[in-house]
Chain A
Amino acid sequence: MNTPLLSVDNLTIGFPNTTSTVTPVVRDVSVHIAPGMRIGVVGESGCGKSTLAYALLGMIRGAGVRVHGTVTYAGAQLFDMPPAQLQHIRGAEIALVPQNAGQSLAPHRTVYAQIAEVLEIHQQLQGDAAWQRVVQLLADMRLRNPARIARRYPHQLSGGQQQRVALAMALAGQPKVLVLDEPTTGLDVTTQAQLLALLHALTNDTDMAMVLVSHDLGVIAQTCQQVMVMYAGEVVEMGDTADVFQQPHHPYTRGLIAAMPQLTATRLPYAMPGQMRRSATDQQCAFLDRCAFAQSVCATTAPTLEFVAHTRAVRCHHWQTVATHDDVDSTATPLLDRAPVGEGTPLLAVRQVSATYHQPDWRWWVRTPPQLVVAQVDITLTPGHTCAVVGESGSGKSTLARVITGLHQPAAGNVYLDETVLPATVTQRSQDARRRIQLIFQNPDLSLNPRHTVAELLYRPQAVFFGRTRAQALPHTISMLQQMRLDEQYLNRVPQQLSGGEKQRVAIARAFLADPDVVVCDEVVSALDVSVQASLLQLLVDIQRQRGTAYLFIAHDLAVVRAVAHTAIVLFAGHVCEQGATAEVFAVPHHPYTMQLLSAVLTVPRRTVQPQVNLPADDTTLTHGGCPFRQRCPIAIPHLCADVVPPWQQVAGSHTFRCHHPPDVLASLRDQFALPTT
C-alpha cells in the first residue's frame, strides 16, 4: 500500500456538556488515506461521521473540541497549524463537497464568481483564464450549456445542478483528497444515479483520494473500494466494501444491511431493536443493548478494534460467531403474508383529478396561465390495501395528497369516499369525512406543535372527533402509545425531547387516534435512518393488519414501496405512466420511466451489471402536449411522442402503462437496463 497522504490518529472530538465534562462524538478514530483510495464512512445520524469529515479539513463545527489525537496531511498536523497556513491546504489539497449545496453556495454571487474565487486564491488564475477554466469544470460536470450556468445564481439552479456546481467548486483547486459529506442526500434517485456515475468517471484512474460520508449503504457500495462503519462515535468495522457488505462481521453492520429495503427482498426490512446511545462507561460495548449476540463479557469489557485480516478490522468480542451466522432478517415479516385484509368495494376513489398552481406575480394585472401539476389521475383504494404513488420531486405526489385531504382544490375531477363525492375543500367536508381521512406529513418537526406535550398532541384529535375530555382521552392515548412501542413516560415530553423516529411515531399515533379508514402517508419514512425506517414500516404494516386501514403511500424510494405497497402508481410530471400490482410493475416494468427509476435504485452489495442506458445529462422542464416523458426518454419517437398523447396499454389485469411503443420494443429496452428483479 502507498504511504498515507492524510492520516487520522486516535482522534477524539467531543462537545462540552453541563457537567463540565466532554461528551465524545468521535472516539479514538484512526484512518490512513492513501492516494487514489476511495473510502466510505457509513453510519446512522449522530454516529459522528460528519464531524469526522469536517475534521479531515481541520474544522470542528459548533462548540466541539478536539480532546486528543491528530489529523496529519503531508507531515503537518492540521490542528496545530496557524489559520493562514490551514487556509492554503483547504480547497487546494483537501476539498469538501457539502451535504446541502443549495445552502452552501453563497446566495449573492454567481456560480462563476464562487468557483473563480478558488482559482484566484489557490492558483492565481484571473480574468479570461479563470472564466475558461470555470466553464471547462462545469462542462466536466456534464452540465449542459456551462457558460450559461456560470452566469447564474445558485437559486436559479435545480438541486442536482447545485450539487454538481459544488462538486466543480471542490475540484477547482485540484485537491489530492476529496471529502464528500452526504453528497446525494435529498436528491431524487435518478439525479443521484447521475451524480454517482459522474463521480465515478471523474475519480476513476486518478490519484485523488476520496472520502465519502453517507448514511446510505447503497451509495457507498456503488462508489467506494473500502468502507468504515461507525457506531456511537467509534469505528466498529472496516474493510473492503465487497467483503464487508457480503459477510459483515459486526452485528451492527449486519443489522444495517438487513434494515435496508431491497427490490428483490421477500420480507419487510429488518427492524433493529432500540436506538443508538453512547455507552455510559468505557467498560462496555456501545452496541450492547441492541445486540442479539451480546453475552456477559460485552457488559464488562469494551471490545477493541481488532484486525482480522490485512485490511479488515472489527470491534466485537464475538465476530467469528456473527460472521458465520444465518441471515439476520429471517425474523422479519415475509411480504407474501400481507394479503389485503378486505377486498371488494372501493373505499376511496380519485377520479380524473387534475390540479394546478397559480404562480404568484407582483404584477397583479398580468394573468399568468396556471401550472399543471397533476393531470387526470385515477386511484382506487380498498380497505386494508396500500397504494403507493412514486415519482421524483415535482411529480405532483404531494399535491395529490393535498387534493385527497381537501387542502388543495382540484382544477377538475372528484374524490369519492364510499362512492359518494366529497366536497373539494376540507372546510366543506363533514366532520366524519375529515375523521376518516388522515394525513401524516414527511417532517414531524413541522407538523407537531413544538409547545405541546405528547399527551396534548394526542388529546386534540380525540376532543375534536369524539368529544372526549382529557381524562376520558388518557386511556386511549396510553394504549395508542403502547401500540407505537412508546410508553407512558413519553406523555409529558415535548417534540424537542424526542428522536426523529419517536416524533414520527407520535405523528402516526395522532392520525390513528381519529380511527381513520384512510391514511395518506406523505414521504413518512424518507427523512429517517434505515434502521428507524425499517421499524416504522413494520409498525405501519402491523397496524394495517389489525385495523384494515387503507394507505395511500407517497414515496420516492422504490425499495420502500416494494416492501409495503400492494399496488403502485408511477407519476411523472403529474401524469400517470404506469400502474398495477407492485410485484408485477416492479418485476416487469413497461414504461421507460419506471425502468429508469428501478435501475437507479442502489443495492447492497452493489450490482455487478451496471445500467447500459445513460440517463440524460440535465434536468428537464415540463412541456405541454404529447408524452410528458419524451425529453428524458431514450427511445422517444421524434414526432409521434411530441405531438400525440400516448395510449393506455394493458399488460395483464390491472397492470397498465402509457406509451407508443409495442411491448417487444420495451422488453428489449428492459434488457438493456439490467434491472435487479429481472
Chain B
Amino acid sequence: MASYVFGRCFSALVTLFVVAAIIFVATEVLPGDVATAVLGRDATPKRLAALRAQLQLDRPASARYMDWLYAFVQGDWGYSLARPKQAILPLIGERVRNTLWLSGIAGVIGVLLSLLLGVVAGLKRNTWFDTLVSTLSLIGMSLPEFVIGSLLMLLFGVIWALLPAVTIVQPQATFTALFPSMILPAVTLVIVMVAYILRMVRSSVIDVAHSDYVQMAYLKGVPHRRVVWHHIIPNALIPTINAIALTVAWLIGGVVVVETVFNFPGIGRLLTSAVSDRDLPLVQALGLVGAVFYIGINIVADIATLWLTPRLRTQYWRVADE
C-alpha cells in the first residue's frame, strides 16, 4: 500500500513536470514574446532588444524553463506584467483562497446532496420521486452554467433583491464580507454538480441493488434497512468516487464561467483577465496551480478507491499462501 502511494506520487511529479513543460512551450510559441507583450505599442526594435536582455530572453528556452521551474518551486513566481509591481504569488494566493471557499461550500453541499438524492432515487427506481429527480437533473445538465447563474441573479439579485447580484467587495475581503456574494455562485455550482453526480450515483445504486450479493443478503434474512446501509451503499459509492473527484477538480481548477458571470474574485476570473492582458507569467503560474490541484485530487480519489475496494487493495498486500 505504502509503495503504491509512493509510486503514484512519483508518477504525479513526472506528470507535473511534463505539464509544466507544455505550459511553458505553449506560452513560448504564442506569437510575440513577453517583451512585445510588455511594450505593446511602444515597441521599437531597440527597446525590445534592451528588454529582452533585461529579462534574459536571449538564453535558450530549456535553460529558461529550468530556471522558471526552480524559482517556482522556491516560491518565487515572478511579477505580473499587466499589474506592474504586483508579485504573482500573493496575487494568486488570495484568489485561490476565494475560489477554495466558494468551491468548498459548493462541493460539500453538492456532494452530500447528490449522494442523498442519487441513493434515494436509485432505491426507489421508477417511482414519482425518481422520475422527478431524474428529469430535474437532466434539465440541470442541459442548461449552461451562465443561464442558471443569470436566472438566479435575476430572481434573487434583481427581482427580490435578497442577495448581491454581483460581487462588489475587494478580492482581499474577509470571509464574512465575501459570504453574501458567494451564495448565488455556490448555488449555481451545486445545481450543475448535483445533476452530474446524482445520475452516476443513481445508476450505480441500481446496478448494485440488482446484484447477486444483494439478493443473497435478503435471502439470508438481513433486514432491508441493513441491506441498504451495509451492502448497497458501500458498493454503490466506490464507482462514483472518480466522478466526484473530477467534479471537485473542475470546481477548484477555476469555474471560469460562473466566476465571470458573478464577477467573483477567484482564480477563474483572474485567468480570463490574465489571458486577455497577455500576462504570460500569470497565465503560466495559474496553469501550473490548476494542474497541481487536478493531479492531486485525482491521486486522492485513486487511493480512496483502492482503499475501499478489497479486490484492488489486496493486490498490494503480500498474502502468504498456505
Chain B residues within an 8 Å CB radius of A107: 213, 235, 309-311
Cβ contact within 8 Å between B213 and A117: no
User: Cα distance A109–B310 when bound, in Å?
Assistant: 8
Assess the A122–B221 pair: CB atoms within 8 A.
Answer: yes
Query: Which of the segments A96-104, A372-380, A548-556 contacts the partner chain?
Result: A96-104
Q: Is the CB–CB distance between A98 and B321 below 8 Å?
A: no
Q: How far is the CA of A625 from the CA of B238 in the complex (A)?
A: 43
Q: Is B168 close to A, CB under 8 A?
A: no
Is there an interface contact between B218 and A59, defined as CB atoms closer than 8 Å? yes
A91 within 8 A of B: yes
Q: Is B58 an interface residue, CB under 8 A from the partner?
A: no
User: Is B322 in contact with chain A by the CB < 8 A criterion?
Assistant: yes
Rounded to whole angstroms, the CA-CA distance of A106 and B219 in the bound complex is 13
A6 CB → nearest B CB, Å: 15
Q: Is B32 an interface residue (CB 8 A)?
A: no
- Contact flag A84-B223 (CB < 8 Å), given A145-B322, A155-B310, A156-B319: yes
How many angstroms from the CA of A107 to the CA of B236 in the assembled complex? 12
Main secondary structure of the interface of B (DSSP, over half): helix
Residue A95 CB within 8 A of the other chain? yes
CB distance from B219 to the nearest CB of A (A): 5
Q: Which of chain A's residues have a CB closer than 8 A to the CB of B308?
A: 108
Q: Which residues of B contact A88 (CB under 8 A)?
A: 221
CB within 8 Å for A106 and B231 given contacts A155-B310, A363-B7: yes
Query: Which chain A residue has the least Cβ–Cβ distance from B4?
Result: A362
A-contact bits for B196-238, CB 8 A (1 contact / 0 none): 0000000000000001110111111111101000110011001
Chain B residue nearest in CB terms to A118? B220
Partner of A100, one of B212, B220, B221: B212
B44 interface residue per 8 A CB criterion: no
Query: Does B62 count as interface, using CB distance less than 8 angstroms?
Result: no
Q: Which residues of A contact B238 (CB under 8 A)?
A: 108
**Chain A residue contacts of B4, Cβ below 8 A:** 362
| CB of B84, distance to nearest CB on chain A (Å) | 49
- Choose among B3, B226, B310 the residue with the greatest number of A CB atoms under 10 Å from its CB: B310
CB distance A121 to B221 under 8 Å?
Answer: yes
Q: Which residues of A contact B212 (CB under 8 A)?
A: 98, 100, 103-104
Chain B residues with Cβ below 8 Å from A148 are 322
Type the 1/0 row for A614-637, where 1 means its CB is closer than 8 Å to any CB of B: 000010010000000000000000
Contacts of B309 in A (CB 8 A): 107-108
A390 at the interface (CB under 8 A from B): no
Nearest to B223 among chain A residues (CB) is A87
Residues of B within 8 A of A38 (CB): none
Q: How many interface residues does A have (CB within 8 Å)?
A: 42
Who on chain B is nearest to A62 by CB? B210
Residue B314 interfacial (CB < 8 Å): yes
Pick from A121, A144, A362: contact of B322, CB below 8 A: A144
| A369 CB within 8 Å of chain B | no
A54–B218 CA distance with the chains assembled, in angstroms: 11
Q: Is A83 an interface residue (CB 8 A)?
A: yes
> Does A426 interact with chain B (Cβ within 8 Å)?
no
In the complex, A121 Cα to B235 Cα: how many Å?
21
* Pairwise interchain contact B220-A103, C-beta atoms closer than 8 A: no
How far, in whole Å, are A594 and B213 apart by their CA atoms in the complex? Answer: 36
Nearest CB of chain B from residue A263's CB, rounded to whole Å: 34
Q: Which residues 160-191 of A sit at the B interface, judged by CB distance below 8 A?
A: 169-170, 173
Interface string of A564-581 (1 = CB under 8 A from B): 000000000000000000
Across the interface, do A106 and B221 meet the contact criterion of CB distance under 8 Å? no
Chain A, residues 113-133, CB within 8 Å of chain B (1/0): the string is 000011001100000000000
CB distance from B143 to the nearest CB of A (A): 35
How many angstroms from the CA of A510 to the CA of B253 in the assembled complex? 54
Residues of A within 8 A of B219 (CB): 54, 57, 59, 90-91, 95-96, 98
Contact in complex: B222, A104 (CB < 8 Å): no
Q: Which residues 114-170 in B have Cβ within 8 Å of A in the complex?
A: none
Interface centre among B4, B217, B308 (most CB of A within 10 A): B217
How does the 8 Å CB contact mask read for A478-496 relative to B, with 1 for contact and 0 for none?
0000000000000000000
Q: Enumerate the 8 nearest inter-chain pairs by beta-carbon distance, A residue then B residue, closest first.
A: A91-B221, A91-B220, A90-B221, A103-B212, A153-B310, A104-B216, A106-B213, A104-B212
Q: Give A contacts to B, CB under 8 Å.
A: 54, 57, 59, 61, 83-84, 87-92, 95-96, 98, 100, 103-110, 117-118, 121-122, 144-145, 148, 152-153, 155-156, 169-170, 173, 362-363, 618, 621
Q: Can you list 24 residue pairs at the A/B interface with Cβ under 8 Å?
A: A57-B219, A90-B219, A90-B220, A95-B220, A96-B216, A96-B219, A103-B211, A104-B216, A105-B216, A106-B235, A107-B309, A107-B311, A108-B235, A110-B310, A117-B220, A117-B222, A118-B220, A121-B222, A153-B310, A155-B311, A155-B314, A156-B314, A362-B4, A363-B7
Inter-chain pairs besides A103-B211, A153-B311, A363-B7, 19 sampled, C-beta below 8 Å? A84-B223, A87-B218, A89-B221, A90-B221, A96-B216, A100-B212, A103-B213, A106-B216, A107-B309, A107-B310, A107-B311, A117-B220, A145-B322, A148-B322, A153-B310, A155-B311, A155-B314, A156-B319, A363-B3
